[in-house]
Amino acid sequence: MKSFYDLLSQKKKQSILPIFGFADVSAWEKETKYPTAPDFYPTNIFPEAKTVIVIGVPVVLPILETTPSVYYNEHQNNLNVVLENEIITLSSFLNRLGFASMPTARGGYSEMSVLIEKPMAAFSHRHAAYHAGLGAFGRNNVFLTKKYGPRVRFATILTAATQSELGVSKKKQKKSIAQKKKFEKNGLCIDCMACSKFCPIQAIGGDSKNTYPVVKTDKSRCAAYLDELGKKGTSRCGVCIKVCPVGKDRILFDRRNISIYNESEIGGEKKERLIRAWNHIRDYGTKK
Ligand code: SF4
Ligand code: SF4
């Protein structure tokens, strides 16, 4: 029978789950650069946990560019459904194999007013992705990957299986630890400050000398703004991940020049066509 690792590799090949990784729960306790309080350790959520399994799906850039729009709203919801389905099915598969496992909540809040008051979830998928060596934190708390920049949604499974029991070879375990160290040292953020400059409510600190975790997004204000947009039925902002120049998806979609997002400034023919397309989508399906 194929191992759990092989199963995820197969899903990656089929582009069902393009991103996945594993981390030992001990990584949370050892962390010094991006520590989380012990309450947020995987073992505090699921005491039996030995390994954290992280999966990710990319946000499609041309849909994100229409934000705020019903297109992006639906896209976000659909990506969450894909992730929820996968973590439920994969956990159930592991349980059947005899490895106690649980999926964590993808979003983890009941309504936006809760997030405005207390802008944190019980578990951070971004930290899980970081410990699995999948990328690096950006200057605010966005999580950057090489392929898709910050345009990835993550979800997590906690399991009592060890990485070896999941079929992750020692060589692969060492490789992801080395990868994490490399990202930690070199990062992926190029300190362009675009996320800060383009944020419509200036919720991201503009101090160019410092970065996350010193610089933090004002999550309560961000949540209040997202709530405002959500009431109109549109997507919940996402401008900071839209404008980030990191990610190979920018090459695929030919969006290397982020000045296209200065929508009020005059640009060339391509920019005009893009803005016309975004505005057309924004004009339909939501309240004004
Ligand atoms: S989601 Fe929007 S409001 Fe929130 S930090 Fe990013 S750009 Fe600012
Ligand atoms: S937009 Fe620029 S500063 Fe912000 S996370 Fe991306 S690379 Fe870093």
194 lines ligand 1 (CB under 6 A): no
Of ligand 1's listed atoms, the one at least distance from the Cα of 238 is: 1
pLDDT above 70: percentage of residues in the chain = 99
Which pTM value belongs to this model?
0.93
Ligand nearest to the CA of 221: 1
- Residue 119 in this model has a pLDDT that exceeds 90: no
Q: Would you give the end-to-end CA distance of the chain in angstroms?
A: 55
Distance 284 CA to ligand 2 centre (A): 31
216 band by pLDDT with thresholds 50, 70 and 90: confident
By alpha-carbon position, which residue is closest to atom 3 of ligand 1? 222
What is the CA(25)–ligand 2 centre distance, in A? 29
- The answer, yes or no, to whether residue 233 has pLDDT greater than 80, is no
For residue 258, the CA-to-ligand 2 centroid distance in Å is 12
Give the model's pLDDT for residue 180.
96
Task: Give me the pLDDT at residue 210, please.
Answer: 72
Per-residue pLDDT, averaged over 54-80, amounts to 95
Over residues 160-178, mean pLDDT: 97
The answer, yes or no, to whether residue 50 has pLDDT greater than 90, is yes
Tell me how far the alpha carbon of residue 190 lies from the centroid of ligand 2, in angstroms. 6
Determine whether the shortest distance from the Cβ of 225 to ligand 1 is under 6 A: yes
pLDDT at 1: 56
Q: What does the pLDDT read at residue 117?
A: 86
CA–CA gap between residue 244 and residue 249 (Å, rounded) = 11
Q: Look over the chain and give the mean of its residue pLDDT values, rounded to a whole number.
A: 92
Distances (CA, A) of 86 to 109, 154, 166, 196: 20, 11, 16, 33
188 ligand 1 Cβ < 6 A: no
Q: Which atom of ligand 2 is nearest to the CA of 194?
A: 1
Quote the Cα angle for 21-107-43, to 5°.
55
Note the ligand closest to the C-alpha atom of 64.
1
Ligand 1 in reach of 229 Cβ (< 6 A):
no
Average pLDDT over every residue of 218-239:
86
pLDDT at 264: 86
The confidence band for 145, taking pLDDT boundaries of 50, 70 and 90, is very high
Q: pLDDT of 249-265, one tens digit each?
A: 999 999 999 999 998 88
* pLDDT, tens digit, 9 for 90 and up, residues 73-102: 999 999 999 999 999 999 999 999 999 999
Secondary structure (3-state) at 236: coil
**Which of 69, 229, 240 has most ligand 1 atoms within 8 Å of CB, for mutation?**
240
DSSP for 13-34, please give it.
HTTSS-EEEEEETHHHHH-SSS
Q: Is 199's C-beta closer than 6 angstroms to any atom of ligand 1? A: yes
Residues 127 and 35: beta-carbon distance below 8 Å: no
**Distance separating alpha carbons of residues 213 and 196, to the nearest angstrom:** 15
